[in-house]
Amino acid sequence: MEKSKESSLSALETLRAPLPDDLFHEPIEYIFADHFRQRALCALLDEIASGTSPDVQMVMAVLGYLKSEFQPHLLDEEKGLLPMLCRRAKPEDEIDEVLRQLTEEHASDGEDAKDIILILEQIVKAGGSNAISGNAAELLKRFAANERQHLIVENSIVLPLARARLTEEDCRDFGQRMAARRGVVLND
């Protein structure tokens, strides 16, 4: 099997694999694991953007993730992680500017995701027979590049600081809210 096809299949498998519910007991690790899935999302978006006739199964997997997983992830960070980290951070952490930037990026990402969903729905509707337009391809590529940069900041700055500053109670409450957002009831 050629390397790019193997990479695509791996990314597809990663994106389709749900995270285990028991990971909500470790919400920071849940977010970290979901970031890995988002990297797979980015790889698939790049592939869709560069193809002349997008693979419908790939498009459907990306569409499924964007419709069911991406918005809850943004809410996990915006309504849970970032405000908690803002409260728990110490002045020497100097995290305010990073958190402000992430909040702005989340808003932009959410809007771009809505536009991408519409584009992908059209591809599925056409059965993958139409090449993606130049503007649509650019949006997918830009979104993927922005997400990769965003993940670097979160994985290297935000999550390590959260591990150091959030309390067990913070994490328990955060995990319960994350689970509830997805309709999962946690048993202690």
Residues 6+ away with beta carbon under 8 Å from 72:
178, 181, 182
pLDDT exceeds cutoff 80 at 130: no
Q: How much is the pLDDT for 43?
A: 94
Q: How much is the pLDDT for 8?
A: 85
Q: How much is the pLDDT for 55?
A: 86
Contact 59, 120 (CB under 8 A): yes
Q: How much is the pLDDT for 158?
A: 97
Structural domains of the chain, with CATH: 3-181 (1.20.120.520)
* Total-model pTM: 0.92
Longest dimension (CA), the chain: 55
Mean predicted lDDT score pLDDT of the chain: 93
Q: How far is CA 58 from CA 6, 62, 92, 154, 159, in A?
A: 13, 6, 44, 26, 29
**Rg of the chain (C-alpha set):** 17
The C-alpha atoms of residue 129 and residue 10 are separated, in whole angstroms, by: 24
Q: How much is the pLDDT for 140?
A: 97
Res. 184 pLDDT band, cuts 50 70 90: very high
What does the pLDDT look like over 156-166, one tens digit per residue?
999 999 999 99
Res. 126 pLDDT band, cuts 50 70 90: confident
What does the pLDDT look like over 14-64, one tens digit per residue?
999 999 999 999 999 999 999 999 999 999 999 999 877 788 999 999 999
- Whole-number percent of the chain with pLDDT over 90: 82
Higher pLDDT, residue 22 or 130: 22
What does the pLDDT look like over 4-16, one tens digit per residue?
778 888 899 999 9
What does the pLDDT look like over 78-91, one tens digit per residue?
999 999 999 999 99
Q: How far is CA 2 from CA 7, 8, 47, 124, 170, in A?
A: 9, 10, 15, 25, 46
Q: How much is the pLDDT for 3?
A: 63
